[in-house]
C-alpha cells in the first residue's frame, strides 16, 4: 500500500451533535490519514431517514471545523445516493445473491438464535417468501465460509458469516437501504482504503468485506479504536445522552481525546487554539500508542 495515496474517512450519522465518543473516531481517522499524507473525507450517513435530526449534519460539520478537522473535497450525503445503492442491489440480484424476505422481528425473536449481530436469520424465505401479502425486505445470502481480516489494532479477526450472522438485510421492508450496503457502496465510490472507526463496528466488518467481494470492490485496511464507555460500561452515544462538544472551546476535549488515544499532549495545550493542538498531534501522532481493547472509560477531565 506504500505507493498508494491513503484515503480515510469519517462517517457520522446525523442523529445528533458530535460528542466525546464520536470525536475519537473523527480525530483518529483524520490523523491516520494526514500523517501518511493522505486524503480525509467526510460522509454524512443519513440513509436511515427516520433517525435523522434536522440541522444535525450542519452542526457536525461546523464542529469538525471548530476542532481543526478539515476534510477534502465535497461532503457525501447518503440520502442523495439512492441510485447507487439500487445499482448495487441490481448487480447482486443479477448474480443471484438476493431474495425477498417477509419474516417479522417477532418471528425471529421467537425462533432464531442470537449470533454476533443479533438474530441469526435461518433462511426461512430462501426458497420463497413465507407471507407474500407482506412488504418484503431484501436479504443477501451468506455462505458457509469464514471471512478473515487483520485489524491494525485488534489483530486477526474471523467470522463464519452464515453461522454467526446469517443472510442479512440490505434493504428493509420500508425501502430503507441498510447501513451495511450503503457503507460498502460509498467507501468504494470515495476510494476509501483506510477505515478507522469505533470497535462497535468490528462485528460489521466481515459483512462489509463479504459485500465488497460480491460487488468486486477492494477491501480497505481497518483499524478499530476502543469505544468510549461510561462508568456503567455503556457506549457514549447521542442515545445515552452524551454531551455535545463545545465548539467555542475545543482545546479540553481535543487534548482529552488525544490522551484517550494514547498520545501525550502537554497539559498547557488544553487551552490552545484547535489549530495548534492539531499541529502538535500531526507531529507527535503514534498509532502504535493507541490502547488495544474494545472499550475504555471516558476520562474525567473532559
Ligand atoms: N455512521 C456510523 C456511525 O455513526 C459509522 C459508520 C462507519 O464508520 O463505517 O456509527
Ligand atoms: Zn423471511
Q: Using CB atoms within 10 Å of the CB of residue 177, give its burial: 0 to 12 exposed, 13 to 18 middle, 19+ buried.
A: buried
Q: Averaged over 267-293, what is the pLDDT?
A: 96
Q: Which long-range contacts (CB under 8 A, 24 or more apart) does 258-263 make?
A: 258/27, 259/299, 260/24, 260/228, 260/296, 260/298, 260/299, 261/24, 261/27, 261/28, 261/225, 261/289, 261/290, 261/291, 262/286, 262/289, 262/290, 262/291, 263/289
Cα–Cα distance measured from residue 302 to residue 299, given in angstroms and rounded to the nearest whole number: 6
Within this chain, domains 7-81+180-297 and 96-145+155-179 share the same CATH topology: yes
47-60: average pLDDT: 95
- The answer for residues whose C-beta is within 8 angstroms of residue 22's C-beta and 6 or more apart is 12
Domains of the chain: which residue ranges? 7-81+180-297, 96-145+155-179
Q: What is the mean pLDDT of residues 87-96?
A: 98
The set of cell numbers assigned to 27 is: 480525530
**What local confidence, expressed as pLDDT, does residue 272 receive?**
97
Answer yes or no: are the C-beta atoms of 152 and 287 closer than 8 Å.
Answer: yes
255 within 8 A of 270, measured Cβ to Cβ: yes
Using the predicted structure, report yes or no on whether residue 44 has a pLDDT greater than 50. yes
Note the pLDDT tens digit of each residue in 10-39: 999 999 999 999 999 999 999 999 999 999
The CATH number of 7-81+180-297, from 1.10.1840.10, 3.40.50.620, 3.30.1300.10, 3.40.140.10, is 3.40.50.620
Average pLDDT over residues 93-118: 91
Helix (H, G, I), strand (E, B) or coil at 40: strand
Please check the confidence at residue 273 and state whether its pLDDT lies above 90.
yes
Q: What is the reported pLDDT for 300?
A: 57
User: Is the CB of 52 within 6 Å of ligand 1?
Assistant: no
For 60-67, what is the mean pLDDT? 98
pLDDT category of residue 126 using cuts at 50, 70 and 90: very high
From the CB of 13, is ligand 1 less than 6 Å away?
Answer: yes
User: Cα(198) to centroid of ligand 1, in Å?
Assistant: 8
Q: What is the pLDDT of residues 152-196, one digit of tens each?
A: 999 999 999 999 999 999 999 999 999 999 999 999 999 999 999
Mutate to test the pocket of ligand 1, among 27, 45, 224 (most ligand atoms within 8 A of CB): 45
For all residues of the chain together, what is the average pLDDT? 93
Note whether 19 and 27 are within 8 A (CB).
no
Q: Give the closest residue to 134 by CA, choosing from 107, 103, 108.
A: 103
- DSSP assignment of 125-177: TTTS-S-TTS--EEEEPP-SSEEEEEETTTEEEEEEHHHHTBSEEEE-TTSPB
Tell which CATH architecture fits domain 96-145+155-179. Answer: 3-Layer(aba) Sandwich (3.40)
Label residue 301 by pLDDT band (50, 70, 90).
very low
Q: Are 275 and 68 in contact (CB under 8 A)?
A: yes
pTM over cut 0.85: yes
Tell me the C-alpha distance between 101 and 121, whole Å. Answer: 10
119: its cell numbers = 438474530
CA of 52 to the centre of ligand 1 (A): 14
CA 15 to ligand 1: nearest atom: 4
Residue 90 pLDDT grade (very low, low, confident, very high; cuts 50, 70, 90)? very high
Mutate which of 21, 51, 183 for ligand 1? The one with the most ligand atoms within 8 Å of its CB, which is 183
Amino acid at each position: 500500500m506504500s505507493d498508494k495515496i491513503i484515503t480515510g474517512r469519517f462517517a457520522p450519522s446525523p442523529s445528533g451533535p458530535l460528542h466525546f465518543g464520536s470525536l475519537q473516531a473523527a480525530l483518529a481517522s483524520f490523523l491516520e490519514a494526514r500523517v501518511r499524507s493522505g486524503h480525509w473525507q467526510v460522509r454524512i450517513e443519513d440513509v436511515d431517514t427516520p433517525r435523522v435530526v434536522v440541522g444535525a449534519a450542519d452542526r457536525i460539520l461546523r464542529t469538525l471545523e471548530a476542532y481543526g478537522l478539515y476534510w477534502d473535497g465535497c461532503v457525501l450525503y447518503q440520502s442523495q445516493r439512492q441510485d447507487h445503492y439500487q445499482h448495487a442491489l441490481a448487480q447482486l440480484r443479477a448474480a443471484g445473491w438476493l431474495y425477498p424476505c417477509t419474516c417479522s422481528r417477532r418471528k425471529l425473536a421467537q425462533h432464531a438464535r442470537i449470533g454476533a449481530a443479533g438474530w441469526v436469520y435461518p433462511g426461512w424465505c430462501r426458497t420463497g417468501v413465507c407471507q407474500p401479502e407482506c412488504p418484503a425486505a431484501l436479504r443477501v445470502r451468506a455462505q458457509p465460509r469464514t471471512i478473515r481480516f487483520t485489524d491494525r489494532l485488534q489483530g486477526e479477526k474471523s467470522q463464519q458469516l452464515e453461522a454467526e450472522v446469517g443472510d442479512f438485510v440490505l434493504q428493509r421492508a420500508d425501502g430503507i437501504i441498510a447501513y451495511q450496503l450503503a457503507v460498502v457502496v460509498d467507501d468504494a465510490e470515495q476510494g476509501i482504503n483506510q477505515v478507522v472507526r469505533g470497535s462497535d463496528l468490528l462485528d460489521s466488518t466481515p459483512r462489509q468485506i463479504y459485500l465488497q467481494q460480491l460487488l468486486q470492490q477492494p477491501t480497505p485496511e481497518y483499524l478499530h479504536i476502543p469505544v468510549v464507555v461510561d462508568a456503567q460500561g455503556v457506549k457514549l452515544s447521542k442515545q445515552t445522552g452524551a454531551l455535545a462538544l463545545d465548539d467555542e472551546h475545543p482545546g479540553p476535549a481535543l487534548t482529552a481525546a488525544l490522551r484517550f488515544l494514547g498520545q501525550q499532549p502537554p497539559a498547557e495545550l488544553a487551552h490552545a487554539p484547535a489549530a495548534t493542538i492539531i499541529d502538535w498531534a500531526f507531529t507527535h501522532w503514534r498509532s502504535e500508542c493507541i490502547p488495544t481493547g474494545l472499550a475504555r472509560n471516558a476520562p474525567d477531565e473532559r
